[in-house]
Structure 1
Amino acid sequence: MNRRQVFLSHQQYQQQRESLEGVEAHWRSHSMMADSPLQEASLKAWEVQQARLHRLILGYTGGEPLEQLAQALDGVIEAYEDYQRKLALHEEMPDIAPLAIDDYPYDFEEYVQVIGLCILLQRGDLLPRLALLQDRAGYKGDDTLVEDLLKAYLPDREDVDQWNHEVYTPLVKAIYVDDPDEARELLVEYCNQWYLAFEHASWHDSHLDDEDGGYFGYWAFEAAAIAYLYGLDDSAVRHMVFPRDMLEYARRFSPPPIPGR
């Protein structure tokens, strides 16, 4: 085990991996309390989607090979699609988004994390499917950071100057400042305040709970994805949430050109 964050012991890694990998089988054979069969199906699909994403992040934290994680992204995107279909049936809203990224900062962080994972692990082929789930609900052109992450991979993204959550201000500004030194410092600022900004997230401080074992890793994948796409200097970033070796892996490949730059 070549762990990438110090909080994860070998025992915790094994226990959490077993737990996450057992979620799908559990819900295939167990019922869940819900108001209707459609709601139950959507809740189960959400549990599976979360388990697949957290299993992938746990794999990164635990030191699994990046090529292996890149393949696991197929299952993550499939789980988002399945959850959206079942949520749409339950809510009777065909185009409902799986993530309410305007209202909930934790949903937004999840969205840009998954985008970042696709970018860094060279799975840009999955981004059209992921973005479609959100775009159909009217989120296209809603947030600068999302558009700046996607525009190199998807045609006709929007040029907007607004973002929904204040925590991302340093990262957005790092893209647009002319001074490389200032961009470097903004990237540092973003990573340094990232963990504290999500103090109310369900995963926050999970490494302190030995009994629950819910820790799977704390990572600002979107920060590394922006550094990769826009050629930012990350040499001053020291915070543990910055996935440096995933960025180094991505830099083996040339980033796609960004329209307008």
Structure 2
Amino acid sequence: MSNFYSTRRERFLYEEPYLLLVNATRANVAELEGYLRNDLASADENAWSRWHSFLAGSKFSLFVGDYSAGSPVQEIARAFPSLIQAVEAENLPHPIYQTEPVFLEELDGYHYAMTLLSLAKLLRHDGLVPRVTALFDVARAKNRGKDALYETLLGQLGLPTVPAKGRLRFLKAHPLLLKAIEAEPRKRPLFVTEFLKKWFPAMKGTYWHGLHDRAPQSFFGYWAFEAGLVTYLWDIDDSSYRDLPFYPKDLVDYARTHGAVASPDMNATLAAQDGPPASTRSGEVCPKQG
């Protein structure tokens, strides 16, 4: 048996289509970074936005794929700041070019937010956690105070919250994580276990759902990273569910054994965007820390 199959974390990942996909995606990343280095001055708004969107999406896919394929968590942790820089360039306001915020009312956006928030904390890039939440505060009126789980996670991370009055965006699985948080400690594993069993069917409608079956050449892996975040933040005993599909046990183990690591300067949020910091008008939410 190939070493690939003994180290992979994602049971639906197969070596040949995965390696072809990774090589093609890395080539795309190199090409896009070349455009941004060499052709940025002549880029129109559509080209700039398209390049950054493709670059962020490609880096995100490669990042998830590296975890799925079994890359050491330490290597994944070192790559995380570069991913966040690419995502910031795509989503945070820019003084010249139009960018598109992420909306948590869409299932893809909600999963994206949960994934990036979970990765930042589980990889112990504590300094990047506020930068991740700033991505979703760009659309603050639509994103904040609308989901009790998201706000509860922010509160446990020591960040400001907006009362959500028990509301949840998506009701098929995520209420079980909120119940796990609110339950007495001995009952918490039961709710996380049930969440993991319901998570994949509940994510039907996302662009990536079912890719392992219909388009394996586009598949990077399925992970309920938020189950790991809740487990870590509330110190839940995961022995009863750590081997269930979709649970990122290696990230939880890493978080429990490693302290916070140095992250890029908090004020460098827009460094990748090749322009002066974004400004805001009176009454608008500032997209940056500081």
TM-score range, shorter chain: 0.7 to 0.9
Residue of structure 2 equivalent to 1:33? none
Counterparts of 1:13-92 in structure 2, within 5 Å, are 13-27=18-32, 28=34, 37-85=44-92, 91=98
Offset at residue 189 of structure 1 (A)? 1.1
- 2:112 and 2:225 map into 1 onto residues whose CA distance is 10
The one-letter amino acid paired with 2:19 is: Q
Offset at residue 111 of structure 1 (A)? 0.8
Q: CA deviation digits over 1:199-222, x for unaligned, max 9?
A: 222212212246x51110100011
The one-letter amino acid paired with 1:67 is: Q
- 1:207 and 1:155 map into 2 onto residues whose CA distance is 36
Offset at residue 154 of structure 1 (A)? 4.0
The one-letter amino acid paired with 2:26 is: E
- 1:100 and 1:147 map into 2 onto residues whose CA distance is 15
Residue of structure 1 equivalent to 2:207? 202
Moved more, 164-173 or 144-153: 144-153
In structure 2, the CA distance between the partners of 1:63 and 1:84, relative to structure 1 (3 Å rule), is same
Q: CA deviation digits over 1:126-175, x for unaligned, max 9?
A: 11111112223213433222222223444433353322121311111110
- 1:249 and 1:145 map into 2 onto residues whose CA distance is 23
Offset at residue 69 of structure 1 (A)? 0.6
Offset at residue 122 of structure 1 (A)? 0.8
Q: Relative contact order, CA 8 A, sep 6+: which one is greater? A: 2
- 1:169 and 1:67 map into 2 onto residues whose CA distance is 32
Offset at residue 21 of structure 1 (A)? 1.4
Residue of structure 2 equivalent to 1:100? 103
Offset at residue 87 of structure 1 (A)? 7.5
Offset at residue 38 of structure 1 (A)? 1.6
In structure 2, the CA distance between the partners of 1:186 and 1:19, relative to structure 1 (3 Å rule), is same
For the residue of structure 1 that corresponds to 2:101, the secondary structure is: coil
Offset at residue 16 of structure 1 (A)? 2.0
For the residue of structure 2 that corresponds to 1:213, the secondary structure is: helix
- 1:88 and 1:171 map into 2 onto residues whose CA distance is 39
Q: Please say if 1:163 is aligned against 2:168.
A: yes
Task: Give the TM-score of the pair, scaled to structure 2.
Answer: 0.75
- 1:87 and 1:16 map into 2 onto residues whose CA distance is 31
- 1:175 and 1:219 map into 2 onto residues whose CA distance is 20
How many residue pairs get aligned? The number is 243
Q: Please, which runs of 5 or more residues in structure 1 have no aligned partner?
A: 31-35, 256-261
2:64–2:220: 8 Å Cα contact kept in structure 1? yes
The one-letter amino acid paired with 1:7 is: F
Residue of structure 2 equivalent to 1:180? 186
Given candidates 232, 239, 252, the residue that maps to 2:257 is 252
1:77–1:130: 8 Å Cα contact kept in structure 2? yes
In structure 2, the CA distance between the partners of 1:153 and 1:185, relative to structure 1 (3 Å rule), is closer
Residue of structure 2 equivalent to 1:146? 150
The one-letter amino acid paired with 2:11 is: V
Q: Please, which runs of 5 or more residues in structure 2 have no aligned partner?
A: 37-42, 261-290
Q: CA deviation digits over 1:79-128, x for unaligned, max 9?
A: 1111124778555xxxx7631112x1111011101111111111111111
